[in-house]
Amino acid sequence: MTASISDHLLAWYDRNARDLPWRLPPGSALPDDPAWPYRVWLSEVMLQQTTVAAVKPYFAKFTGIWPTVEALAAASDDDVMAAWAGLGYYSRARNLLKCARAVAERGGFPSNEAELRALPGLGDYTAAAVAAIAFGQRAVVVDANVERVVARLFAIEEPLPKARKAIRAAADTITPYTRAGDFAQAMMDLGSHVCTSRAPRCLLCPLAEACAGRKQGEPERLPVKPPKKAVPERRGTAFWLTRGEGAEVWLVTRPGEGMLGGMRALPDDGWTARKDGSGEAPLAGEWRTLGAVRHGFTHASLTLEVRALETGQAPHGEGQWWPVASIGEAGLATLFAKAAQLAQAEA
């Protein structure tokens, strides 16, 4: 069954592989180009919890500005964080820089999974994906899409997250030694376009005949997931502090660690630490309330009130006056970009 599964899947992939800017055509020889593992690694980091459609323009931007890992390693933190703005999960960008600098220092990416896993920010999945796709090494690559395919294929009934050990063991039994990168990407494509969370397209699946979940009649029930926890609500305030009749706004850079770390932002009232947004404004004055924006994080939902004040005084602490006309070039995180849009509309 194992050989049959990999053979059927690879034959399907040869006909149906997605054309993506970080991929080779099915069956291609690996390029003798040091930038190849860089492109694979960059795409895998960007694709974590993010859609292909959202990643494509960011991948093009990064590889255009920083075409090699050495170029990225030499970039400033501010430039990279600004280029990442809007892609979310900003710890990825911080780890991206740490990893790029570690790779540049060692003279290139290691080719085996264990050494890749030792690099900053590379967990089991990313290390396995880079080993398989960039270097052709046999590696068991399991992301959320692959997890779903394998859970259904083998009818693994144990609920997540405990089922992940069994899912990985089952995935190991069907992972071939040849065309490792193509197999990993085929599994991802199958999960994202055919073996979907809802209404899986079993009639189009190359593995339908071998699928135990389909034979049971309810493949969409797998993998079994625990009940969703309620997402807590938070409240906070962002401050739109301007000077020169609104020509410039005061921006700060958030601490390197923690939520939205290292990103340019509007000053806020410390809602990330306090949960209730009970901190103080950066300056005393008659602040006007402009409205509020909503934003969802993985762990909480936030209502961020936006208040405005025109002043000729810079607040204490580090920051910079930024031209409001070019606020789009500041690289604000999505939350603060929303607040800036509201402020510009209402101020």
Q: What is the pLDDT along the chain (347 residues), one digit of tens a residue?
A: 556 899 999 999 999 999 999 999 999 999 999 999 999 999 999 999 889 999 999 999 999 999 999 999 999 998 998 899 888 888 899 999 999 999 999 999 999 999 999 999 899 999 999 999 999 999 999 999 999 999 999 999 999 999 999 999 999 999 999 999 999 999 999 999 999 999 999 999 999 999 999 999 999 999 999 888 888 888 889 999 999 888 999 999 887 777 777 788 899 888 764 544 456 788 888 899 999 999 888 778 889 999 999 988 888 888 889 999 989 888 888 889 999 999 898 76
Q: Which CATH number goes with the domain that contains 269?
A: 3.90.79.10
Same domain membership, residue 245 and residue 202? no
Same domain membership, residue 305 and residue 210? no
Q: Is residue 102 part of a domain?
A: yes
Would you give the DSSP letter of residue 219?
Answer: G
Q: Is residue 228 part of a domain?
A: no
Same domain membership, residue 10 and residue 51? yes
pTM for this entry: 0.79
Would you give the DSSP letter of residue 303?
Answer: E
What tokens were used for 191?
A: 């999960």
Same domain membership, residue 245 and residue 188? no
Give the CA count within 13 Å in the CB-facing half-sphere of 232: 6
Q: Is residue 30 part of a domain?
A: yes
Same domain membership, residue 246 and residue 279? yes
How much is the pLDDT for 177?
93
Same domain membership, residue 136 and residue 46? yes
Structural domains counted in the chain: 2
Of the residues 221, 244, 267, which one is the last residue of a structural domain? 221
How much is the pLDDT for 272?
60
Q: Is residue 227 part of a domain?
A: no
Same domain membership, residue 29 and residue 173? yes
* Residue 122, C-beta contacts closer than 8 angstroms, at least 6 positions apart: 41, 99, 116, 130
Question: How many CB atoms sit inside 10 A of residue 214's CB?
Answer: 20
CA dist., res. 133 & res. 171, Å (int): 16
Same domain membership, residue 32 and residue 101? yes
Q: Is residue 109 part of a domain?
A: yes
Q: Is residue 226 part of a domain?
A: no
Domain residues for the domain of 53 are 2-221
How much is the pLDDT for 276?
47
What tokens were used for 308?
A: 């405005």
Of the residues 221, 241, 263, which one is the last residue of a structural domain? 221
Q: Which CATH number goes with the domain that contains 25?
A: 1.10.340.30
How much is the pLDDT for 264?
86
What tokens were used for 346?
A: 């209402």
Of the residues 221, 254, 281, which one is the last residue of a structural domain? 221
What residues are paired with 303 via a beta bridge? 235, 294
Same domain membership, residue 217 and residue 265? no
> Where would I find the beta strands (DSSP E) of the chain?
233-243, 248-253, 264-265, 288-296, 301-310, 320-323
What tokens were used for 17?
A: 């592989």
> 269-306 burial, b if ≥16 CB within 10 A, otherwise e?
bebbeeeebebebbbeeebeebebbebebeeeebebbb
Same domain membership, residue 130 and residue 31? yes
Q: Is residue 25 part of a domain?
A: yes
How much is the pLDDT for 2?
57
What tokens were used for 101?
A: 């600098």
Q: Which amino acid is at 331?
A: G
How much is the pLDDT for 136?
96
What tokens were used for 140?
A: 């068991």
Q: Please pick, among 44, 113, 147, 305, the residue that the annotation labels catalytic.
A: 44
Q: Is residue 324 part of a domain?
A: yes
Active site residue 44: yes
Same domain membership, residue 182 and residue 37? yes
Same domain membership, residue 297 and residue 172? no
